Structure 1
Amino acid sequence: MQELQNTTNDIVSAIKQFTRSIDSSNDYRGDMSSLIQVTSNLKLINLDYWERLIRSELDTNLHFATRSKWQLWFKPNVKLTWLGIVNGDGYKREKSLLALSGGAPNAFFFALVVRRLNDWVPQVRKAAIKILPSLLRSTKPEYVAEVLCMLLLNWHSWGKIEEADNQIFLDMIATEEMALLLKSHLISSTSGPMPSLLSQIGRADILDNYLDEVASDAVQPYVRSKAYRSLFESRMTWVKGREWQWIDKAYGKRKLIPIIAERKIDVQPPFLELLNRAAADRSPIVRQVSAEFLIRNIEKLGIQSRIFAEKFAADKSANVVEQGKFVLRKLDEKALDNNINN
């Protein structure tokens, strides 16, 4: 809580410095260096709060600056640029977006632009889509990757963005450089909802060729599990949104259920090789996935099914053991039926 208050104070102070710096010597643009420095250290959370704070402080400080410095009879055309994209006036947000040039000064300001894809004003959303290609080319890839890793997690809750615009944006970031940065983040992150991130990135084929590497090397077992499952099924799935479903109409009970979307992937390592690697994984979470797909493919694997089943039946995890014993029972039943029929 104290950290939040300290950061709030720093941002308020930086905005005051910005408004005091606005004059004719810099074409009324103001010096954003202090604000850029403060926001460069911000985690990309509570963005609604930071947008409201910046908007409120700008309105207050520009009002006093206008009265004290420029007088009522002279109101210059203040060029807010990056700060204008959080203005309360949709027309000014649109105008500020279209006036942007060069790359985003840090990940925070790039995040503010991406959030305009879900703006409540359609013209602002269109302006964001229009400016993003040039912004992506000019912004440091590490800033873009940081924003993607935070904001993609919440895309399914963005009710205003069009699915077509979702895809347009994903197509914009589908570069080899971005793929390597995202892959590195997914593999090395020790905490956070990385499996959900992998799902949302899976909307595009940017990481398809790296799924095998993610499955083998990701630190988090649930990430490895998700990657293995995607490879086994030859598809990526993600939460597209949520919708209400009736539980009991008589009592007016209903609940929100996720809407699952999917996309086929062409990457398909040899099934037996994949099964063997997942079965040898250090986490029972991943070994359970391997055992699940053994169960699905008992008939196809022949004698290999018993070899894997015996291995799972001797596992340290009770859940994996149960799956292994299930396969052994099925194999024994099939062998008994064959003996009876012969």
Structure 2
Amino acid sequence: MFWKAAGAAVVRSWVGRLLRPARFGTADMATPSDGELSAVALAAGRLGDAVRNGRFQPEIATYVTALCALPPEQAVPVEKKVRRALEYAAVSMSGQYVPRQTVYDVEFRNLEICPALAYYYVFHYSGFVREHALRVMPGLHKKAIIAAIVLERRNDWVAEVRAMADRRFMALLAELPEAQLASLFPILLERTALWGRRYAPDRVLEEALSIPRFAEGAKRFLLKAVYGPLRRNFSRILGSDCLDADLEEIAVAARAPLVRATAVEALLRGRARWMIGSTRQWVDKPNGVSTVLPRWETRALTISPSRRRVWDLAASDRSAFVRREAVDYAIDMGPDACDWAVLTSLRHDPNRGVAERAKYCCRKWSAPEKPL
């Protein structure tokens, strides 16, 4: 009986992994294919053999074609695959040991002969080679996967590689076609948030949003996004004023309720806020009881929307998240900031959280009708 239950649990776990969607994106985003990743690994292995033999021209085209076919979500897995095809020690020629500096000279010479090898050497174990690969990397392949790979190098453990990746990433981002921008946007948000480098994620995002084409792509992505940590990432975007003029459209037309709720909150309050960290607050210090509170940064919006119109739209929204933002604003600002008849009708909202908030608001501001 025990083994039957354990086997069923294992099957459910693997089925759940296979059916689980990506962490952050839209409903029409392509799912990464293991077959495409295996094709890159096979091409990288053949290219590695060809490089060691000094005849790499026929194999580089196959490798670059397979690499450009990957979605940008595979930037991290493909690095692990290609790293296995690269040699992590000095190359042995005719049974003789070759010093590492000589190896680097060989690779530098290969990059001068064929700059397309930069797509292969950008994963090299040596920071010298990675930096030189980024420097000579051709801009012929304007694909989101190439921009995602360069973006990952902005988190490199070598400072010189990070500096070179900074320059190349912004150049690639400015030349990237419109169709590739939307697929790169969730990678920029998710991966940079995991780096753990102080101020680096916000700086990368701020530089990217300074490009008008990328800001427009961010808006289109937010309108279509349906899953993932949308509220947190949208709040990070609001640290820049590039989407202030589009907040009303996002508050009405976005598919995800949390995106609409975040836009409504910013419009009603007249300010945007985003979390910059956390702080520990003691509840009972002698007994070691504490809690962690978020730390927020705020800025005023650059637009002056009609708050009453925004409130009316939020109060009639189909999502309880958005209606809750409308009631919270009425609790703070009073009956003059809302339609009192609509607010009293929200006491009978199907969502319990919205209904309880509306009842509390009526009691707080001495409504003519006392709620039950």
Q: What TM-score comes out, normalization by structure 2 length? A: 0.73
2:257 pairs with one of 221, 238, 250: 221
Instruction: Pick closer, same or farther for the CA change 1:236–1:173 going to 2, 3 Å.
Output: same
| More deviation, 243-252/174-183 | 243-252
Q: Does 1:78 align with 2:110?
A: yes
CA distance in structure 2 between the aligned counterparts of 1:191 and 1:333, rounded to whole angstroms: 39
- 1:13 aligns with 42
Matches within 5 A, 1:1-342: 6-19=35-48, 22=51, 31-37=60-66, 40-42=69-71, 44=73, 47-59=75-87, 77-79=109-111, 80-102=117-139, 104-160=141-197, 162-163=199-200, 166-167=202-203, 170-241=206-277, 258-298=294-334, 300-301=336-337, 306-332=340-366
Q: CA deviation at 1:179?
A: 2.5
Q: Deviations over 1:188-230 (max 9, x none)?
A: 1222232233122223222221111111011111111111111
CA distance in structure 1 between the aligned counterparts of 2:228 and 2:94, rounded to whole angstroms: 47
CA distance in structure 2 between the aligned counterparts of 1:50 and 1:241, rounded to whole angstroms: 31
Contact 1:306 1:331 in 2 (8 A): no
**Percent of counterpart pairs with the same letter?**
22
CA distance in structure 2 between the aligned counterparts of 1:90 and 1:258, rounded to whole angstroms: 37
Q: CA deviation at 1:57?
A: 1.5
Q: Deviations over 1:235-263 (max 9, x none)?
A: 22233345677777767787776543333
Counterpart secondary structure, 1:190: strand
Q: Deviations over 1:261-290 (max 9, x none)?
A: 333321231111111010010111110110
Contact 2:147 2:173 in 1 (8 A): no
CA distance in structure 2 between the aligned counterparts of 1:4 and 1:253, rounded to whole angstroms: 47
Q: Deviations over 1:101-143 (max 9, x none)?
A: 3155422221111122222222121111222332223222433
Contact 1:103 1:136 in 2 (8 A): no
Counterpart secondary structure, 2:85: helix
Instruction: Pick closer, same or farther for the CA change 1:313–1:156 going to 2, 3 Å.
Output: same
CA distance in structure 1 between the aligned counterparts of 2:70 and 2:366, rounded to whole angstroms: 61
CA distance in structure 2 between the aligned counterparts of 1:261 and 1:43, rounded to whole angstroms: 31
| More deviation, 7-16/110-119 | 7-16
Q: Deviations over 1:312-340 (max 9, x none)?
A: 1232222222122222223337999xxxx
Q: CA deviation at 1:161?
A: 5.8
User: What is the alpha-carbon root mean square deviation over aligned residues?
Assistant: 3.7
Instruction: Pick closer, same or farther for the CA change 1:169–1:128 going to 2, 3 Å.
Output: farther
Q: CA deviation at 1:178?
A: 2.2
Counterpart secondary structure, 1:282: coil
Q: Deviations over 1:150-191 (max 9, x none)?
A: 23134343223644x843652344233323322121111222
Contact 1:104 1:110 in 2 (8 A): no
| More deviation, 269-278/129-138 | 129-138
The aligned amino acid for 1:284 is A
Instruction: Pick closer, same or farther for the CA change 1:188–1:306 going to 2, 3 Å.
Output: same
CA distance in structure 2 between the aligned counterparts of 1:256 and 1:221, rounded to whole angstroms: 27
Structure 2 segments unaligned to the other structure (5+ residues): 1-16, 19-31, 112-116
Aligned pairs, how many?
A: 328
CA distance in structure 1 between the aligned counterparts of 2:125 and 2:302, rounded to whole angstroms: 45
The aligned amino acid for 1:310 is T
Instruction: Pick closer, same or farther for the CA change 1:255–1:195 going to 2, 3 Å.
Output: same
CA distance in structure 2 between the aligned counterparts of 1:246 and 1:11, rounded to whole angstroms: 52
- 2:25 aligns with none
| More deviation, 166-175/115-124 | 166-175
CA distance in structure 2 between the aligned counterparts of 1:256 and 1:119, rounded to whole angstroms: 31
Q: What TM-score comes out, normalization by structure 1 length? A: 0.79
